[in-house]
Structure 1
Amino acid sequence: MELRGDKVVLRSVTDEDREVLDTIVAEPEVAAWWSPPDDYEDMAAVVFRGEVIGAVQFDEETDPEFRRAGIDLFLTAKHHGKGLGADTVRTLARWLVQERGHHRLTIDPAAANTAAIRCYGKVGFKPVGIMRQYWRNHRTGVWQDGLLMDLLADELA
């Protein structure tokens, strides 16, 4: 898999990427929202100017009555606030709509992760509602709320 955005490239994770991704997911700004993945097999590396700066993943519901796809990602803190998250999400969203045929996409950041919510809004995701005690913080063990956001294919920015 290789997808090209305006600024980033999404490609399969290689063995060499794993150590870099482990370092990124351990950064305090990332670890606040992400627990270390067991494996990066179902993720794509996010590459900016030749450097792996994070990872993105998607899941798909293929039941024709409920068909949709979901997206999740993390980026190294040194590249937060530069539009690279939005480019990553937009690039994967376009592929999920155009190539995989999804009419609806979801994303579910922590309700307190205002930077992620703002990023996803730039792509066109809209808040649907709060999911109470949705995810368990791996560092504190406390259940946290999540925000369900969705995007319809014709709303993709």
Structure 2
Amino acid sequence: MAHSPELAPELRGPRVLLTPLTAEHRTRLREIHREPEVRRWWQMPDDDWPDAAEPNTTRYTVLADGVIVGYAQWYAEPDPEYRRAGLDLFLSAAAQGRGLGTEVVRVLCAHLIDDHHHHRLVIDPTVSNTAAIGCYRKVGFRDVGVMREYAMRHDGSWDDGLLMDLLAREFVR
């Protein structure tokens, strides 16, 4: 089943709302993206981020208590022999450490499994991002393996990435 990023539904958790990204969210998301705590794990945004089209990627603004606190996205591999969805997210420094990341991941995983019928989800944090890895493990993601020199740092050196996956039957709701 193909997905249409333009028709993405709002997704709700107990404390978070994932709403399709709009131009009104741009400034705040760029501010969050540049925070040292976020930039440590994400490359600096391109000048046209988040306005640049990303085919086959569904992008959300994350809100808590009506305030923009982060960004989440997912994409699908359409080849039926390798069908899966991948996801990623970041939260502002002020929103970290409160369980909101785990909630965002749960909400997004439930949507991908229940509404899009994905049997396997993947995510690929930097090996040293222990907070993110702990968050993903709480939801049921398991380590698959280390991808050596996977992501380039801001200084041109490389970080290893941890490939993690979640089978629908292992999802911890």
What TM-score, normalized by structure 2, do the two folds share? 0.87
Q: Aligned-pair RMSD on alpha carbons?
A: 1.1
Q: Does 1:95 align with 2:107?
A: no
Measure how far apart 1:16 and its partner are: 1.8
- Long gaps (5+) in structure 1: none
Q: Secondary structure at the match of 1:85?
A: helix
2:108 & 2:164 partners in 1: Cα distance?
16
Measure how far apart 1:40 and its partner are: 2.4
Q: Secondary structure at the match of 2:107?
A: helix
| Deviation string, structure 1 residues 46-81 (Cα, Å, up to 9, x no partner) | 010000100000111111110000010000011111
1:75 & 1:152 partners in 2: Cα distance?
25
- Number of aligned positions between the proteins: 156
1:89 & 1:46 partners in 2: Cα distance?
11
Q: Secondary structure at the match of 2:145?
A: strand
Find 1:48's aligned residue among 49, 59, 64: 64
1:92 & 1:73 partners in 2: Cα distance?
10
Q: Secondary structure at the match of 1:149?
A: strand
What TM-score, normalized by structure 1, do the two folds share? 0.95
Q: Does 1:6 align with 2:14?
A: yes
Instruction: Give the equivalent residue in structure 2 for 1:36.
Output: 44
Identity %: 51
1:5 & 1:155 partners in 2: Cα distance?
20
Pair 1:36–1:43, CA change in 2 (3 A):
farther
Name the amino acid aligned to 1:16.
E
Measure how far apart 1:13 and its partner are: 1.4
- Long gaps (5+) in structure 2: 1-8, 52-57
Contact 1:10 1:45 in 2 (8 A): yes
Q: Secondary structure at the match of 1:89?
A: helix
Instruction: Give the equivalent residue in structure 2 for 1:132.
Output: 148
Measure how far apart 1:28 and its partner are: 0.5
